[in-house]
């Protein structure tokens, strides 16, 4: 009986600490090939967006940049993750994506290297964002390009926003402003 109780306690502790993972535990590669450590964003709200250059929703870059211009800084950041998972709408190289974003939308928020946001080759960060077992909020799938994930200052996922919801939607702005 003591052995069963001990195993149960250990299993519970493992589950609790596994479920306590935050975005701050991840390191990724930025679009220029440098390591990007999410722990450097502790204390900031984060919006993570999977992006694509040849999508009907691509004009959302303009709104994302406007939000970043207004709110980006010590308390808030947007992180873009180019992904080619939906009808080949992000076929470019990192250099081509960076040039497209800067030339067409003046993007200055951090862009990461291209990742997979679904399927067998899903990036570990997106496994975290889409698995309730890991993120403690919800099981979800990335429905399309420009899905938004809102992360609080502690690195916890707090909301998943539809790709069709525009970045400057009042729900998002209220969250950024802390209302």
Q: Give 40-97 pLDDT, tens digit per residue.
A: 999 999 999 999 999 999 999 999 999 999 999 999 999 999 999 999 999 999 999 9
pLDDT at 15 over 60: no
Q: What is the model's pLDDT at position 9?
A: 44
Q: Is 53 exposed, middle or buried (0-12, 13-18, 19+ CB in 10 A)?
A: buried
The Cα–Cα gap between 7 and 89 comes to 48
Of 55, 66, 98, 158, catalytic = 55
pLDDT per position as a tens digit, 20-38: 589 999 999 999 999 999 9
Instruction: Please give the pLDDT value at position 16.
Output: 43
Q: Categorize the per-residue pLDDT at 19 as very low, low, confident or very high, splitting at 50, 70 and 90.
A: very low
55 flagged as catalytic: yes
Q: Summarize pLDDT for 117-166 with one digit per residue, the tens.
A: 999 999 999 999 999 999 999 999 999 999 999 999 999 999 999 999 99
| pTM (two decimals) | 0.88
User: Is the pLDDT assigned to residue 5 strictly greater than 90?
Assistant: no
Q: Rounded to whole angstroms, how far apart are CA atoms 7 and 45?
A: 38
- Looking at the predicted structure, is the pLDDT value of residue 14 above 60? no
Domains of the chain from N-terminus onward: 21-177 (3.40.30.10)
CA dihedral 143, 153, 173, 19 (to 10 degrees): 30
């Amino acid at each position: 009986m003591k052995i069963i109780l001990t195993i149960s306690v250990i299993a519970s502790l493992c589950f609790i600490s596994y479920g306590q993972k935050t975005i701050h535990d991840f390191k990724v590669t930025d679009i220029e090939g440098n390591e990007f450590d999410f722990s450097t964003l502790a204390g900031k709200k984060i919006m993570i967006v999977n992006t694509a250059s040849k999508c009907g929703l691509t004009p959302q870059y303009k709104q994302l940049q406007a939000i970043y211009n207004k709110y980006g800084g010590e308390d808030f950041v947007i992180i873009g993750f180019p992904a080619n998972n939906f009808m080949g709408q992000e076929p470019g190289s990192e250099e081509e994506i960076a040039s497209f974003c800067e030339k067409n939308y003046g993007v200055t928020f951090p862009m990461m290297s291209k990742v997979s946001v679904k399927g067998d080759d899903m990036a570990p960060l997106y496994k975290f964002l889409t698995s309730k077992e890991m993120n403690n909020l919800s099981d979800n799938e990335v429905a399309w390009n420009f899905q938004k994930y809102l992360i609080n200052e502690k690195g916890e996922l707090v909301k998943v926003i539809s790709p069709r919801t525009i970045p400057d939607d009042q729900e998002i702005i209220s969250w950024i402003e802390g209302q």
